[in-house]
Structure 1
Amino acid sequence: MSSAPILETTAGDPERPRHVAIIMDGNGRWAKRHHQPRLFGHKAGVEAVRRVSRAARELGIEALTLYAFSSENWRRPEQEVRDLMGLLRHFIRSDLAELVRENVRLRVIGDYRRFSADVADLVDDAVARTAGNTGSLLAIALNYGSRAEIANAARELARRVRDDGLQPEQIDAPAIEALLETRDLPPLDLLIRTSGEQRLSNFLLWQAAYAELLFVDTLWPDFDAATLREAIAAFGRRQRRFGGL
């Protein structure tokens, strides 16, 4: 898995992934390159979210999942966390009308209720107002951690064994998947991480079991429609065997 830029193109129409997830990394480094504070980079990152989500719709991607705030991000300086919450508020207020107009269904995964009550209420309202939409799906991971997600599923299965008569031999991969927060999303096809880092950082660990992984050097604020098209072209050149020949 190379972090080299993806510059090749292919003729024809390569297979499109149904579900793309992105670890949006590099806002701080982008700001540093521009001799600006980190908030400047995070604001540019929000603009990238707008560009890429629109491009994903145009390219026919059924579901786009973005890692916006991890359960580990609470370790960042308090002011930076406040800035990120402010940007989240602004994004919901300014972009919700477009999501409704464009028939986008918003989903949120993660324990976002740990955020302040006003942010959680904004999230609930946005999800409710787009729930009836039938177009593409935009999933935002907020205070999300994959290990906690899997542990929660295991805890619920243990409760069902204790209280509901579930037999241990009935616990299989589909039983676990049915309790994950992504259970109503298509299987993950392509996971992209920006900024040259090559790790999953506790993001969609179960879901990524057979996803194609792509690590690109582009910092998130510079990620655009062209970069996404290149990533999809790279996906189309992969041979997905799922353990077979």
Structure 2
Amino acid sequence: MIETSGAGAHGVLADTSGAGATTAKLDGGKVTTTHVSTASTEFTYGLWAQIKNEMSEATAMAVVTNGGEVSTASDHGFGLYAHTKGKGGAAVAQLDGGSKVTTTGSTAHGLHATNEVGRDASNNFITTEGQADMEVSVFDGTIETSGNYAFAAFANSIGLGASLVKMEGGTIITKGLTAPGLFAAINNTTSEAEVKAHMMERDGKQVPSRRRVNMPMGFLRSTRAMVRQSRRWRTAASPPGVADRAGFMRWPIIPVRTTPRRRS
């Protein structure tokens, strides 16, 4: 068991400025982090994999498997965080093998993969021409988040690479304002890459979903933001038209059916 407390007291951290890959992995066992945040720059993560080298084409991966458990109690306290500044490769956050991630706090995402480099004076994402893909996967795992803007599984690209979120089996529960279950986004108006958030049945069949694309704002969204009491996934819905604190634009929230349909 790993137990940490305080600002920057991450449970498992893999960080490189080199050209190679980096992996933060929990294979069974438990990680618990806590921190009472007093500033928006004070972050504490359960697992964090990061590539700082802008020329890197490797993968940053945060993964929990084999029944591992990660728990964070902090604003901005992500459970699994994969981040790359590389020009290629990928950032991957993955949960499988009956593992569980629990977060408590505002903007405390369960799984988060991104290549964010910062924001400008207008609080918009600073974009890049990097080709790295952002990938978040849940395979027979459980994610529970409690807090406003606490997304369960979130992939966010500000470059030219794809943004993909996949759930196959397992359970997602969110409780809080603007707290979608699966959220894939590209925040770059020049990108032509794929943005996709989808849920699969155990036999690999994709559950029908809808995608909203808001091109004038440069924001592509595939999110199940208002799913209630489906067989595999439920989330506390937020009011329509609410902009989240992270700076995403306003849009109506669309109810979507995600309970798998049975074929006769």
Same fold? TM cut 0.5: no
- Higher relative CO (CA 8 A, sep ≥ 6), structure 1 or 2? 1
* Bigger proportion of residues as strand: 2
The structure whose Rg is larger is: 1
* Bigger proportion of residues as helix: 1
